[in-house]
A and B are shown apart, each in its own frame.
Chain A
Amino acid sequence: MIGGLFIYNHKGEVLISRVYRDDIGRNAVDAFRVNVIHARQQVRSPVTNIARTSFFHVKRSNIWLAAVTKQNVNAAMVFEFLYKMCDVMAAYFGKISEENIKNNFVLIYELLDEILDFGYPQNSETGALKTFITQQGIKGQHQTKEEQSQITSQVTGQIGWRREGIKYRRNELFLDVLESVNLLMSPQGQVLSAHVSGRVVMKSYLSGMPECKFGMNDKIVIDKQGKGGTTDDPGKSGKQSIAIDDCTFHQCVRLSKFDSERSISFIPPDGEYELMRYRTTKDIILPFRVIPLVREVGRTKLEVKVVIKSNFKPSLLAQKIEVRIPTPLNTSGVQVICMKGKAKYKASENAIVWKIKRMAGMKESQISAEIELLPTNDKKKWARPPISMNFEVPFAPSGLKVRYLKVFESKLNYSDHDVIKWVRYIGRSGIYETRC
């Protein structure tokens, strides 16, 4: 199990050091600093073995979090824990920065004591932790016996993520379907790989212990239901349901029920959380198509022409569009002409950045640039990194639709109809690249 946990600033100074196991000595702190943080070479692996001690690290801005062990621990668990630790800290004091960590070091020690026992991760749901680890340490003394046992039963209980007795005047919930669409396209316009990784993020403000059921246009479910119904038009039903390659759920979702009936039922945590993640690879709507044309004119000049085409309903608007066209390292000057938006050559980033605020569907736009090169005797060819794109569109590129989210709370007197529900779809670019 985890033998110790250290937090360093970018210089390698220790900000937090908590040792859980006897086999980890103080020198482990220095070993990591010397061998990883101060190493000359860039990090080649997130797991480092130094003198039979294994170090796992993650970096958040310029803060290093390192877990240490001498045993054959579950490596995936250690990383999941480190991420979770970051989430918990962020939930308590915001951004993970040196300043914030120093300001909250007592709190962090308290958290570390609670969520790791002898190196075994314990309940790390912020909802539960915040009920008893507070900045006002005295609170513990003024709790009634009921309150205390409520805390402990929540921390250890089956529904560790929600406490009882929550009350709202207005029962409301917000569903965001957030997708990032990833693409790798060849210069000839062939899709090398494309997938959507999506998240359903829910903000719930519901009273009591509501039982929720979430439904979407999952192909398996629709096909099952549609068996007796009208499936005569395959084209239509194909559009209305999507094939989900795989999905994962927040721990509140009853996985065995999903496995057997493919229904998503759960008691939600209070406030914001991520209900599910999913991935699709079939029938993805690629919101933009990038058509590059690069021509080398002699040894000192490049001509670049890039066309982008928007490929969705004309009534919808894409936003925050940015196209990034890499330029060689020996670029001396760039001249750009674009029909729409603004384009600039950024020497420090070795790229032409073309920004368009808004663009409707089924439109196209073009940029052309002349790149002057300094003559070099560098034998190595320019690697031609891919052209990448960023954007935001108000629909889900996977085609996912929320069909329903039903809320049942038998003990309190509000019904599914009384809950105000909001659904929103946002599609963003993930790694959206076209090789040139």
Chain B
Amino acid sequence: MTDSKYFTTTKKGEIFELKAELNSDKKEKKKEAVKKVIASMTVGKDVSALFPDVVNCMQTDNLELKKLVYLYLMNYAKSQPDMAIMAVNTFVKDCEDPNPLIRALAVRTMGCIRVDKITEYLCEPLRKCLKDEDPYVRKTAAVCVAKLHDINAQLVEDQGFLDTLKDLISDSNPMVVANAVAALSEIAESHPNSNLLDLNPQTINKLLTALNECTEWGQIFILDCLANYMPRDDRESQSICERVTPRLSHANSAVVLSAVKVLMKFMEMLPKDLDYYGTLLKKLAPPLVTLLSAEPELQYVALRNINLIVQKRPEILKHEMKVFFVKYNDPIYVKLEKLDIMIRLASQANIAQVLAELKEYATEVDVDFVRKAVRAIGRCAIKVEQSAERCVSTLLDLIQTKVNYVVQEAIVVIKDIFRKYPNKYESVIATLCENLDSLDEPEARAAMIWIVGEYAERIDNADELLESFLEGFHDESTQVQLQLLTAIVKLFLKKPTETQELVQQVLSLATQDSDNPDLRDRGYIYWRLLSTDPVAAKEVVLAEKPLISEETDLIEPTLLEELICHIGTLASVYHKPPSAFVEGSRGVQHKRIPARAGSGESAESSDVGQSGPSEAPPAVIPSQGDLLGDLLNLDLAPPTATVPSVQPSMQMGAMDLLGGGLDSLMGDDSDTLGGDIGGSPSMGAGLGAAPAAMPASLGAAPAVGGGLGDLFDLGGGVGMPTGSYVAPKTVWLLAMKGKGLEISGTFARRGGIIQMDLTLTNKAMSVMTDFAIQFNRNSFGLAPAGPLQVLTPLSPNQTIDVSLPLSTSGPVMKMEPLNNLQVAVKNNIDVFYFSCQYPLSLLFVEDGKMDRQVFLATWKDIPNENEAHFQIKDIHLNSDVASNKLQGSNIFTIAKRTVEGQDMLYQSVKLTNGIWVLAEMRIQTGNPNYTLSIRCRAPEVCQFVYLCYELVLKN
């Protein structure tokens, strides 16, 4: 049989010919024709014109032909919904077929046809199939519920399919259980707050039993679902771990990784002094290493995950360095990932081996790989102090090779080494200077210029060197220009007599001839500093720089926690939270690791991956570092006494000082004001680059920074109140329903008074008088505070605007939705009823600014389950503007902190009935989507608060 011939027909009139064949009497010919149609469909030809003819072939005993027709239907039904109806009868009939394979086929295919009319007919057969005697049909029907939910969620809920699906978790057949779990997990994901997957010890037990019996894929579904469960205590956690560990020996890597995910997560709850904890740690290493003998694509997935695991729990793989050595034939993506992990595992014990390997790699062919290897040598030097000397000499050897990109890369890392070990390796500067001419990449040039400026007093011809760069000043990239400016100023401060001309030259180049505001501003600042107070200038520019920290590319702890919960998935491959690459509501839910119970807490904090500025307690509320840490559900390291811990506030202070104009100065690829090359941004090459190590500029005058920070403190109401947002009026009562009276309106909160703004229009022929208004009981007790003031009779075609003040002291009854308001308006003609929905911001009171301490305590106090997560899309405001806007609607920003270019705003809101709503809003520079987490003791209001946020920010 050679079906490949179907791929080659490209004749004219083909469609016509096919039509004839499809209608042929001979079965064989029909089948051949359908095959041709499918082949054409595959290669992308439009064969939708044949729809009726193909569907006609559906009524057949031939299963192969039937499947082909179904395939066609799934592809084209959407474009021909009316015709697709023709197929319904066959589907319904097939669902009753005695052969379970045909029943399942019918229900499976029907779910794939996304046509409303067909969906209606699907419900009855689906209901039967969910209870079918044959497990094959049931497992297919379980998935079909998820399909239907994707088409019409409401329908699935109304028809009660969700309950049936939940029942299937107790099914006797393990595959039915697995598919039901998969379907429920998917549905639950699109309802982040629903309690659909009601995981309790009983269901968990059922899942764990099914885990031993179902297919490899089913095991994955179940493990992934288990990972979402929060065990009640450490004992339950341990018993689940014990039942999951056997999966680590499964041949399927995905089963292994999903098991690792469950263990990594639940382990967090186990007390560290428990024997079992140690056993578990030991059990994790071998399967992870085994993953590296899988096919390269899986190795890649495994390595990306191991990268996370090593950051979270370095002890697991600390003895396994060798397995990460790069093999000559590894694909490049595997090589690069292995290299990353090697550096993470490098320690004093194994550094000699690692360095020997890295040196080997630096002679390879692939440019990216070689660069990374060179950079890795530098990172080793910074990480393992004892090896620094050897690393530097290795780098010098590499510079001697004169391979252009190797030299450049080496210079960039040597600059970092200088930052870590000042005044130790300056003897190599001469060698570096020899390579000045071969540098053509901005980063390398900037690094070299920084070195020259920093050590100007030891380089005899520093002025000549810098002057040589100055010639092409305007052709350089900003990074180099900024660096050159700073370096020359440094040089001037060190050797004022010989370099006056040079400094004037660069200042005029920077301030007068440049279009770049960053450069110009920095130029002016230097100019003024130098001209007003050279001593102060010296103190600022030549201030002692804080040392850079060892690990600069650690993933931020909150993100790391989240990614650990996503082991095995795409998120863990991208090292990004799902919300960064998944559209819609799916995946927006942030997953978190359960907190450890009892005693382990304090011991734990030390192994979360020490150091790194991202670990430092947020300085926004310096004294409350620990509290805020808890608030974010992190296990924070004890505040390190090093300077970096003050960093966030200084960074903020600096930004405020310069009114945002120099924002990019603090950005990740340029350096800082004070003129040292920004810590180690160059080293944070990985995906999760941590914030640049230090803005040193303000380090010289921390008081100034702090003061300015306070001055611009976010909470203090300095921000201009923009007033709350008032939605445009919408029509509430149509003239048709109101016997000629049309009412449109909106709600507003003005100066603490809630008002209902109404527009009444008389579209009838007669005059209207005697207006009155009344509200039904509602969730927040809204009631008119006075009578409806329509003094003059409303004549035909007349419109009148009325403002009705409202109070919140009326009778209370919970409404559905919460913000629903039922209104009755009476006039001389009749009584009319309508309902409308008010924005919850109406109820946000003016004194809703919570004290910081109280906020922290309250946030901790509210149980985790009460937290809801949302995403606000397409907002192009910076955090200050946003918080100003929100404040106009009585959403108060209490604190702000900046981590890794991500602003976190902590906000509070108080409702008229005294309910407090706490929120955390994250704003990532360059990402128009904000992430909002809301906590409230009354979780049902969260959704509405989120809507207010969206409304306010979008208008």
Contacts and interface: CB of A to CB of B under 8 A. Distances in A.
Interface of A: 1, 13-17, 19-23, 26, 29, 42-47, 49, 52, 54, 56-58, 69-77, 79-83, 99, 102-106, 109-110, 113, 117-118, 120-125, 132, 135, 137-141, 143, 145, 148-149, 151-153, 155-158, 160, 184, 186, 192-193, 195, 197, 245-251, 254-256, 258-259, 274, 276-277, 279, 379-381, 383-386, 388, 431, 433, 435
A17 B71 CA distance: 11
Nearest to B137: A152
Given A72-B587, A118-B111, A109 B570 contact: no
Contacts of A158: 174, 213-214
Contacts of A17: 42, 44
Contacts of B289: 245-246, 279
Main secondary structure of the interface of B (DSSP, over half): helix
A120 B182 contact: yes
8 contacts: A17-B42, A22-B114, A74-B254, A77-B258, A105-B39, A106-B68, A192-B322, A383-B363
Nearest to B186: A1
A184 to B, nearest CB: 7
Contact of B328 (A54, A123, A132, A433): A433
Contacts of B139: 122, 156
Given A26-B44, A113-B71, A46 B296 contact: yes
* 6 shortest interchain CB distances as A-B pairs: A137-B64, A102-B4, A246-B286, A152-B136, A76-B254, A259-B246
B371 interface: no
B19 interface: no
Contacts of A379: 401-403
Interface string B120-146: 000000000000001111011001101
B245 interface: yes
B474 to A, nearest CB: 31
Contact of A256 (B212, B251, B586): B212
Contacts of B70: 113
A435 B286 CA distance: 27
Contact of B176 (A45, A156, A279): A156
Please indicate which of the listed interface residues A75, A105, A259, A277 has the most CB atoms of chain B within 10 Å of its own CB: A75
B217 to A, nearest CB: 4
B71 A109 contact: yes
A248 B295 contact: no
B555 interface: no
Contact of B101 (A103, A132, A250): A132
A251 B251 CA distance: 7
Contacts of A46: 296-297, 300, 333
A148 B246 contact: no
Contact of B286 (A26, A118, A245): A245
A46 B577 CA distance: 19
A248 B220 contact: no
Interface string B335-349: 000000000000000
A258 B250 CA distance: 11
A102 B3 contact: yes
Given A26-B44, A148-B100, A255 B250 contact: yes
B7 A102 contact: yes
A331 B214 CA distance: 58
Contacts of B224: 74
A55 to B, nearest CB: 11
B254 to A, nearest CB: 4
A249 B290 CA distance: 12
**Residue among B4, B147, B300 having the largest count of chain A Cβ atoms under 10 Å:** B4
Contact of B293 (A106, A153, A197): A197
B776 interface: no
B62 A137 contact: yes
Contacts of B150: 21-22
B295 A79 contact: yes
Contact of B258 (A74, A102, A139, A433): A74
B870 to A, nearest CB: 17
A309 to B, nearest CB: 22
Interface of B: 1-4, 6-7, 35, 38-39, 42-44, 61-65, 67-68, 70-71, 75, 98-102, 104, 108, 111-112, 114, 134-137, 139-140, 143-144, 146-147, 150, 173-176, 179, 182, 186, 212-217, 220-221, 224, 243, 245-247, 249-254, 256-258, 286-287, 289-290, 293, 295-298, 300-302, 322-323, 325, 327-329, 331-333, 353, 356-357, 360, 363-365, 401-403, 566, 568-574, 578, 581-583, 586-587
Contact of A71 (B112, B137, B587): B587
A138 B63 contact: yes
A141, A152, A245, A385 — most chain B CB neighbours (10 Å): A152
Contacts of A193: 322-323, 325
A106 B3 contact: yes
A117 B250 contact: no
A76 B42 contact: no
B431 to A, nearest CB: 17
Contact of B574 (A49, A56, A151, A155): A49
A103 B8 CA distance: 12
A188 to B, nearest CB: 11
Contact of A255 (B61, B247, B332): B247
Contacts of B135: 152-153, 156-157
Contacts of A156: 135-136, 139, 173-176
A251 B250 contact: yes
B7 A258 contact: no
Contact of A72 (B64, B111, B578): B578
B174 A105 contact: no
B43 A383 contact: no
A349 to B, nearest CB: 14
B82 to A, nearest CB: 20
Looking at A42, A45, A77, A121, the one whose CB has the most chain B CB atoms below 10 A away is A77
A57 B301 CA distance: 12
A76 B250 contact: no
A249 B249 contact: yes
A123 B215 contact: yes
Given A138-B64, A192-B325, A72 B582 contact: yes
A161 to B, nearest CB: 9
B217 A121 contact: yes
A204 B763 CA distance: 88
Contacts of B301: 47, 75-76, 79
Contacts of A433: 327-328
Given A110-B67, A156-B175, 14 more contacts: A47-B573, A49-B581, A71-B587, A77-B568, A102-B6, A105-B3, A105-B6, A192-B322, A250-B251, A251-B250, A255-B212, A279-B289, A379-B401, A431-B328
Given A29-B44, A72-B587, A255-B247, A79 B298 contact: yes
Contacts of B256: 76, 248
Contacts of A122: 139, 175, 179, 215, 217
B554 to A, nearest CB: 22
A380 B403 contact: yes
A74 B298 CA distance: 12
Contacts of A277: 251, 290, 293
B42 A435 contact: no
A14 B566 contact: no
B287 to A, nearest CB: 6
A224 B176 CA distance: 40
A47 B334 CA distance: 12
Contacts of B568: 74-77
B257 A120 contact: no
B175 A75 contact: no
Contact of B43 (A14, A44, A54, A124): A14
A143 B328 CA distance: 54
B529 to A, nearest CB: 45
Contacts of B179: 117, 120, 122
B363 A140 contact: no
A181 to B, nearest CB: 12
Contact of A106 (B38, B287, B583): B38
